[in-house]
Amino acid sequence: MHHPSDPTPAKYRPDIDGLRAVAIISVAFYHARFPGFSGGFVGVDVFFVISGFLITALLFNEAAATGRLGLAAFYARRVRRLMPAGLIVLAVTILLAAFFMPPASDEQRSLARSAMAVAFFSSNIFFYATTGGYFDAPSFSMPLLHTWSLAVEEQYYLIWPLLMLLVVRFSRQSPVADSLRVRVVLALCVMFVLSLALSIGMSQDHQNFAFYLLPARVWEFAIGGMVGLVGTGFLARLTRWGEALAMLGLGLIVYSVAAFDDSTPFPGSAAILPVFGAALLIVGMTANEQGIVRRLLASRPLVSIGLLSYSWYLWHWPLLSLYRIYNLGSQSLLANALALSVALVLAWLTYVWIERPVRMRRTFLFGGVRTTLLAGGAISLATLLMSAGLWAWRDHQKSADSYRWIEMARADRPRFLAACSRPERPVAGLPLEECGHGPDKKHPKILLWGDSHAQHLLPMLTEVFSDVAVYELTMPTCVPFFDLESPPSTTSSACIAFNQRVLEEILELKEIGLEGVVIAARWPLHFSYRSFSTADQADGEPPPDATTMAQVRADMQASLAATLGALEDLGLRVLVIAPTPQLVYSAPQCLALREKDHCHAPRALNDALLADTTEALAEVVAQQRNARLIRLLDFFCDAQTCYASRDGKILYHDDDHLTTTAARDLGRYLAADLAWLRRESDAPGASAGSQRGFSSADRR
């Protein structure tokens, strides 16, 4: 018989393994992009609650029974639980990456660096510092991205037992049953409140911090810990409500999995639903052991998956990621389902051959506490050595003649200068030397303005205007307009501020000799057209309807007209550069893994993507006396094909940005049209290049 204030007995809970199954299915199906699981990433939060529940109850029971905590034994159990299986998966991932990732690629280097972070239980910090966000498209190219959550757990396992040890020592002067629980719960409450407030406060403007780092995640473990300390006496009073609590908790988790998606600000307040859902579910199942929900989660199929959940979590993402990398970013539900099935089989083998023997029979070096901790250190060292091996393999590939031209293409681009895209920089003292290119940088004649699709044209302008300075003001994803009648939802406040600064700088530059402005952008995306690149796949999000598209078109045209009008009033000539054709795949990545013909894009795809946007630009430019439109399509494409490489030159350093080599060739090709920008007298109208069409002879 347990005292009413005793903690929940430390016995095996098959329903908790069933809850693990719910969590891993949610995460795996989300990563595989299965319909209905758009918010499946909340499964990680459910795992955090389960970990807090089990670990806190385990530590408390030990402290209540013995008056002390055996930290070495605790950490040895964590080593047995996490590290042997993790080492096997990491070794296989690195081995596969050596052969299936693009040779000599940044992806290989990133994998080696992330594996080094895994060795130090800090991969969450690595991904926080090096990625644009967990939900960004490039995340699929990081086979160890999923280890961020394991690092968060490992950091919690390191810190929380130490804090509990302090609480235990402060409680030695009082009866354990009267004070220890109160003090532990109080510590958990403080952690819960501070961490939740930090998570909500940081999720809006610093989502990476809130998502990846432990301080904004502690509250999820803490609420699980509080549930783990609920006494049997209190639970007895909840018995009649247990089933309702369990159903409510399960409903909150299911709702979160189905209703959330990549656009949900997360974790923040949104995470309250799955986290509280998991806590309520555990409380309800503990209070009513005969309830339907508990029996459902304790069923053999779910328990079996739950037992494999850790290994399945380890295996599923590297397989999905490496398959998609090798397939140049393409994915299909069938292939993803196959990858998950293979991962589940590997998880079963890992559980039978590694996880269970190490944990239960404590085989090899995992018998004693000291030898287990030493084995953990050896596993970390082995991880570092494998990471170094992959890095060395990448360097070997970089030096191989067969990959040298691809490696050169990856690096063949203008260097992005953050100083030239800061909206907060004052106007005084312009122009900054680093934003000017060519002779006499203090008196630029040409301004290049736009997003990254303007920045990649910088070599085109410096090739043509080699005798004067070209001044660059570019900001990624920022449409180059002074006035937005109805700003798209993607237009940030930083972009609006940046363009306001551009106007102020143009006024300054005009006084010291500015003659012309070149405007360029990734126009189709600003007009809400969907890219056909595999890197930009929208993951099933429906395209805007015709009415919305028409409104965006009208708003963009109005803003362009206002911008061109303002520049004309200043006496400046303006060249508007039509959209750059794009590829289906990243050119260097594709050329490293496939035959050249596979890497070119059908012209029909670019015609469909670019035609309406180009026509919308042309309609506005035609109404301006001092503006021209230059079209680029015929330089990159013939009647059937848009080329990734030509005449031994790679034209793109990814799927839509030009190499410096290609931009210079483009400059020579368009020299006559670009020269209009500086001629004092020339007939107004559309540029010759935009009207005449180019023959294959011109292209050569």
What is the model's pLDDT at position 694? Answer: 32
**Average pLDDT over every residue of 661-669:** 96
- Are 479 and 494 contacting, i.e. CB atoms less than 8 angstroms apart? no
**Which CATH number goes with the domain that contains 428?**
3.40.50.1110
Q: Are 600 and 653 in contact (CB under 8 A)?
A: no
Per-residue pLDDT of 411-435, as tens digits, reads: 888 887 777 876 666 555 555 677 8
Q: Residue 548 carries which side chain, given as an amino acid letter? A: T
Please indicate, yes or no, whether residues 439 and 548 belong to a single structural domain of this protein.
yes
pLDDT(541) > 50 = yes
CB 199 within 8 A of CB 219: yes
- 49, 277 contact by CB (below 8 A): no
Residue 528 belongs to domain spanning: 410-699
Percent of the chain at pLDDT > 70 equals 90
Residues 6+ apart with CB under 8 A from 235: 8, 283, 286, 287
Residue, of 61 and 337, whose pLDDT is higher:
337
Q: Confirm if 339 and 32 have CB atoms less than 8 A apart.
A: yes
Name which of 171-175, 305-309, 325-329, 436-440 the model is least confident about. Answer: 171-175
From CA 109, how far away is CA 319, in angstroms rounded? 18
539 pLDDT higher than 60: no
The answer to whether residue 157 sits within a structural domain is: yes
Return all residues near 566 (Cβ < 8 A) that are at least 6 apart: 482, 483, 503
Token pair of 229 as six digits? 């300390």
User: Residue with structure tokens 């508007």?
Assistant: 576
pLDDT at 540: 53
Q: If DSSP codes are grouped into helix, strand and coil, which group holds residue 328?
A: coil
- What's the pLDDT at 681? 42
Helix axes of 300-307 and 14-31: crossing angle, nearest 10 degrees: 70
In this prediction, residue 689 carries a pLDDT of 45
**Is 516 in a helix, a strand, or coil?**
strand
Count of CB atoms within 10 A of residue 4's CB?
13
Q: Which residues are CB-neighbours of 590 under 8 A, at least 6 positions away?
A: 328, 583, 598, 599, 644
Instruction: Please indicate, yes or no, whether residues 417 and 394 belong to a single structural domain of this protein.
Output: no
DSSP one-letter string for 543-569: PPPHHHHHHHHHHHHHHHHHHHHHHHH
Angle at 276 between CA 275 and CA 281, to 5 degrees: 100
The residue out of 377, 398, 419 marking a domain boundary is: 398
The verdict on 377 and 512 lying in the same domain is no
Total domains in the fold of the chain = 2
The CA-atom distances, in angstroms, between 315 and each of 113, 165, 388, 648 are 19, 35, 22, 40
Length of the chain equals 700
Six token digits for residue 697: 């002879």
pLDDT (average), residues 612-619:
97
Query: Rounded distance, CA 324 to CA 20, Å?
Result: 27
Closest CA to 523 of 560, 479, 486: 479
352 lies in some domain = yes
Tell me: the pLDDT tens digits for 141-163?
A: 899 999 999 999 999 999 999 99
Q: Residue 104 in contact with residue 409, Cβ under 8 Å?
A: no
How far apart are alpha carbons 632 and 9 in whole angstroms?
Answer: 72
Same domain, residue pair 355 and 484: no
DSSP letter for each residue of 238-270: THHHHHHHHHHHHHHHHHHHHH--TTS--SGGG
Cα–Cα dist 170/181, whole Å: 12
Q: pLDDT at position 421, please?
A: 74
Say if residue 375 is in the same domain as residue 450. no
Domain-embedded: residue 106: yes
**pLDDT (0 to 100) of residue 169:** 81
pLDDT exceeds cutoff 60 at 332: yes
Whether 508 and 424 map to the same domain: the answer is: yes
- Burial (CB count within 10 angstroms: exposed 0-12, middle 13-18, buried 19+), residue 595: exposed
Identify the three-state secondary structure at position 421.
helix
Query: 302 in a domain, yes or no?
Result: yes
pLDDT at 598: 94
Mean pLDDT of the chain: 88
One-letter amino acid of 227:
V
The amino acid sitting at 399 is S
Task: Please check whether residue 5 lies inside any domain of the structure.
Answer: no
- Which of 352, 376, 398 represents a domain boundary (last residue)? 398
Please report, as a single letter, which amino acid is at residue 335: A
Judge if 382 and 495 occupy the same domain. no
148 and 124 in contact (C-beta within 8 Å)? yes
Strands 470-474 and 436-437: antiparallel
Asked whether residue 521 falls in the same domain as residue 390, the answer is: no
65 and 122 share one domain: yes
List, for residues 574-602, the tens digit of each pLDDT value: 999 999 999 999 999 999 999 999 999 99
Encode 227-253: b = buried (16+ Cβ within 10 Å), e = exposed: bbbbbbeebeebeeebbebbbbbbebb
Residue 365: pLDDT band (50, 70, 90) is: confident
153 with 247, same domain: the answer is yes
Q: Which residue from 566, 684, 578 is spatially nearest to 625, judged by alpha carbons? A: 684
Give strand pairing partners of 519.
449, 576
Place of tokens 């029974």: 65
| Token duo for residue 652 | 């793109």
Residue 2, in any domain of the structure: no
**φ, ψ for residue 650, nearest 5 deg:** -85, 125
User: Do 427 and 317 fall within a single domain?
Assistant: no
Residue 515 has pLDDT above 60, yes or no: yes
**pLDDT of 185-196, one tens digit each?**
999 999 999 999
pLDDT reading at 506 higher than 50: yes
Does 527 lie in the same domain as 391?
Answer: no
The two structure tokens encoding residue 324? 């998609």
How many CB atoms sit inside 10 A of residue 497's CB?
A: 15
Point out which residues pair with 450 in neighbouring strands: 474, 520
In angstroms, the CA 408 to CA 595 distance is 18
Residue that terminates a domain, selected from 356, 375, 398? 398
Beta bridge partners of residue 195, listed in sequence order = none
Q: Which of 77-91, 208-222, 390-404 has the lowest mean pLDDT?
A: 390-404
- pLDDT tens digits, one per residue of 485-502: 555 555 677 888 888 888
- Is residue 299 assigned to a domain? yes
The mean-pLDDT minimum among 107-111, 139-143, 453-457 falls in 139-143
In a domain, 6, yes or no: no
Task: Please determine, for residue 683, whether its predicted confidence score (pLDDT) is greater than 70.
Answer: no
Alpha helical stretches, state H, 40-175? 43-66, 71-100, 106-119, 123-130, 147-170
Among residues 393, 388, 287, 397, the alpha carbon closest in space to that of 8 is found at 287
Distance CA 184, CA 127 (A): 32
Cβ proximity of 151 and 125 under 8 Å:
yes
Choose between 51 and 8: higher pLDDT: 51
pLDDT band at 687 (very low <50, low <70, confident <90, very high): very low
Backbone angles phi, psi at 45, to 5 degrees: -65, -35
* Interatomic CA distance for residues 456 and 460, integer angstroms: 8
> Sign of dihedral through CA atoms 231, 273, 19, 219?
negative
Per the listing, tokens 């300054």 go with 508
Separation of first and last alpha carbons in the chain: 91
What distance separates the 2 farthest-apart alpha carbons in the chain?
100
Query: Residue 180: pLDDT above 90?
Result: no
Residue 423: the pLDDT is: 64
Name the least confident of 30-39, 386-395, 401-410, 656-665: 401-410
Residues 216-275: tens digit of each pLDDT: 999 999 999 999 998 766 777 788 899 999 999 999 999 999 999 998 999 999 999 999
Pull the structure tokens for residue 203: 């999720």
Q: Which of 40-49, 97-106, 268-277 has the lowest mean pLDDT?
A: 97-106
